[in-house]
Each structure stands twice: as structure tokens, then as C-alpha cells.
Amino acid sequence: MAPCRLSGLCPPVSVVVTSTIGICYNDTIMHQTQDIIASFDRYLEVRGLHFDAVVIGGAALNLLGVVSRLTKDCDILFPEIPEQIAKASQTFAREVRGNGGDLGDEWLNNGPASLQTQLPPGWDNRLQTAFSGRAIHLRTLAREDLLCAKLFALCDRGIDLLDCVALAPDQAELHKIVPWLEQQDANPQWPAHVL
């Protein structure tokens, strides 16, 4: 299989390769994922709220230490975010902005929830802990499933190349994932750029 054709699809970003964290780059706005999640954990704890979820995307990669970069949100794959938690996350975001921070109201979202039905079978039995606080417990996909999700996003949106590079898949992993990846077709341009 030839690589995805990415010419012109990825916006310019600054990139720093490190030996301990992976790849560090800046292209979006949620600062210090670990700090934001830890602060939100304290925020929920004080209010007697708890949240257990599966996080994916840039936030998950940051929490795992695969990348160290800014991201605009925290993508929750499962479950649907309860109304109390959604409202608390929006109030928290307003407080962060009130203190000079830059956190959008929809920073905690279920944007990628539809991916649940597209991931390889058994993904929910292969989860790993990404963050464990007093009020928040976030798990994420196993490495192979994270790689599937990021390669899927790369081919669908064309903007996840650096996350894929940071995951550093080997030939065996790519060979195993390719048949699954070829079956995915959310982007109407899919056949044109996944050749």
C-alpha cells in the first residue's frame, strides 16, 4: 500500500523531536492537558461530582506522554458526557478564561463518539489508564487501537500526521492495521487520498 497523499492537507506547525516525550508541537489552544485535567478533577471533587470515561485524540496522547502539545479539547469516546459534568466543564472553562486562560466551553466533548462502532472489535476490553484522580478516571485505547484511531483521523481529515509519527508504528503494526483502515470511508475523498 502506498502512503496517504498529504501534500497541502496539513497546516504548518512547529515541531521539536525529543527523546523522552516523543514529539512536541503547537497547533491548537488547550494548554497543558495534564494540568487542565488535574484542575478539573479538583473542581469536580469539590462539587461532589465524578466522571469515568474513555478519552482519545490529542488529550489522550498528551496524558500518556506520547506527545507534548497544545490541543483545543478533550475528546470523550464513551460514555455520553452526563449533563451535570457537561455543565460543570462549561462553568470551569469560563472560570479558566476569567483567570486569563484560554479554554473553550466545548473543551470536553463527545465529538468522536461515532468512532465506537468503527474501531476494531474488542477495543473496550483493551483500555489503559490515562489519568486517575479523585473525581476523574480517564482510560484510553490500547496502543494498536489508538494507532487505528489516529491513522483513521489522518486519512479522513488529513491533519493527524504528527500524532501518527509520535506513535512510531513499526511495519508489523501498519501491516496489521491496513486492512481495517482500508474498510473505513467517512471522507468522500477517501479513495483519492488513501492510495
Domain extent listing, the chain:
14-142
Mean pLDDT of 149-177: 90
Q: Tell me if the pTM is above 0.85.
A: no
Residue 185: per-residue pLDDT: 64
Residue 187: per-residue pLDDT: 58
pLDDT tens figures, 74-131: 999 999 999 999 999 999 999 999 999 889 999 999 999 999 999 999 999 999 999 9
- Three-state SS for the chain is CCCCCCCCCCCCCEEEECCCCCEEEECCCECCHHHHHHHHHHHHHHCCCCEEEEEEHHHHHHHHCCEEECECCEEEEECCCCHHHHHHHHHHHHHHHHCCCCCCCCCEECCCHHHHHCCCCCHHHCCEEEEECCCEEEEECCHHHHHHHHHHHHHHHCCCHHHHHHHCCCHHHHHHHHHHHHCCCCCCCHHHHCC
Residue 110: per-residue pLDDT: 97
